[in-house]
A and B are shown apart, each in its own frame.
Chain A
Amino acid sequence: MSKPEEPSPFKALDAKLKAARSRRPRSRRRAGGDNEGGVHSGIGIGMRMATEIVAAVGVGVGAGLVLDAWLGTKPWLMILFLILGCAAALLNVVRTGKEMDRQAKERKEKARHDAGP
């Protein structure tokens, strides 16, 4: 029963979809995209950067303490590795920032590509 009628519901659906798409204002679509980025930039980025810093400094201090206990150079390696850990934390933050930049750019490109045709 449905066989001969098959194309028509799809066509109707297609027309409906097209109508809905054209009805949806473009500005709202963009606002939605921005909002998504807003969530990312809010809690997401903050937590990501914070954990990157804490983890790198933590690993640095931990490695320093372990090496100190092993080599018997009580505070010195810990201090050295604390500084190195801070440097690694900065490196991590810069890398994360670059990564997020790349993703944001890609998303923007994709959005433009989607909006084009």
Chain B
Amino acid sequence: MAEGAQNGSFPVDPLHQFEIQRLVTVNIGGLDLSFTNSALWMVISVAAITGFMMLATSGRSLVPGRLQSTAEILYEMIAGMVRDNVGNEGRAYFPFIFSLFLFILFGNLLGMIPIGFTFTSHLVVTFFMAMVIFIAVTVIGFVRHGAGYLRLFFPHGAPLWTAVILVPIEIISYLSRPISLSMRLFANMMAGHILLKVFAGFTLLMGIAGIIPLVALVGITALEFLVAVLQAYIFTILTCVYLHDAIHLH
């Protein structure tokens, strides 16, 4: 931030917010396992989720209050999503999908707090989550169907000679899943946060006319909240879709 001001170019460094800072340096056998601000916000979001769910369900009233309704709406939304997209067999995976949704949702929303850090705006984090899902889905597919899962790579009823072209295409399409899944969340979160910072910079630069980007900033902030929720939803629903493909071969 100070660097930009010194150059006299742009008052805000839009990428500064994504910087990883070591809070507690931990070094085990040459492995850098430091507790960073990213990790801190993951812990905060897990704590917030746990606190929220425990507080919301502690009353267990028949007629839910505001907090309990919020928790129930979230629960029913994801339960419905799993039922519609995966089917009855998907129930076993509901706890994982619900935790995943809440983790991403809280990560995105906590990142909207001005001092907050958005851990979902790092490709490493989203790619790791996508990779866990990808490997899990592949394992589930092979466990359920054995080698028959490989039929996924060849469309039913196509002439055999087309396998030469179709199988590599299907494999590339399959392998691109974790990449598109992680990239979508990461790109959306990062682009939105950069946009916010850039407009904030315009506001500082333009003096009295800065009111125009300030007005735009209000709209963009609202849009960012929408994107935060929507991206958590899309990530979760795509996980359900992939799970469906693994359980019911198409």
Contact = CB atoms under 8 A, between A and B. Distances in A.
A25 to B, nearest CB: 24
Interface in B107-137: none
A52 B172 contact: no
A82 to B, nearest CB: 10
B225 to A, nearest CB: 12
Interface centre among B168, B170, B177, B241 (most CB of A within 10 A): B168
Main DSSP-derived SS at the B contact region: helix
A81 B184 CA distance: 23
A84 B166 CA distance: 9
Contact of A56 (B172, B227, B230, B234): B172
Interface residues of B, number: 21
A99 B175 CA distance: 19
Main DSSP-derived SS at the A contact region: helix
Q: Which range contains the number of A residues in contact with the other chain?
A: 20 to 34
A41 interface: no
B180 A39 contact: no
B179 A43 contact: no
Interface string A46-65: 01100110111011100100
Contacts of A92: 173, 176, 180
A32 interface: no
Given A48-B184, A91-B169, A92-B173, A59 B230 contact: no
A81 B172 contact: yes
Contacts of B188: 47
A51 B184 contact: yes
A59 B183 contact: no
Given A81-B172, A84-B168, A51 B180 contact: yes
B76 interface: no
A59 B227 contact: no
A87 B169 contact: yes
B84 interface: yes
A56 B180 CA distance: 8
B172 A85 contact: yes
A106 B176 CA distance: 27
A60 B187 contact: no
B172 A47 contact: no
A44 interface: yes
Given A51-B180, A52-B180, A44 B173 contact: no
A45 B172 CA distance: 21
A91 B173 contact: yes
A92 B175 CA distance: 11
15 contacts: A39-B226, A39-B230, A44-B230, A44-B234, A47-B184, A51-B180, A54-B180, A59-B175, A59-B176, A85-B172, A87-B165, A88-B176, A91-B170, A91-B173, A92-B176
Q: Which 4 A-B pairs rank lowest in CB-CB distance, beginning with the nearest?
A: A55-B180, A88-B172, A55-B179, A55-B176
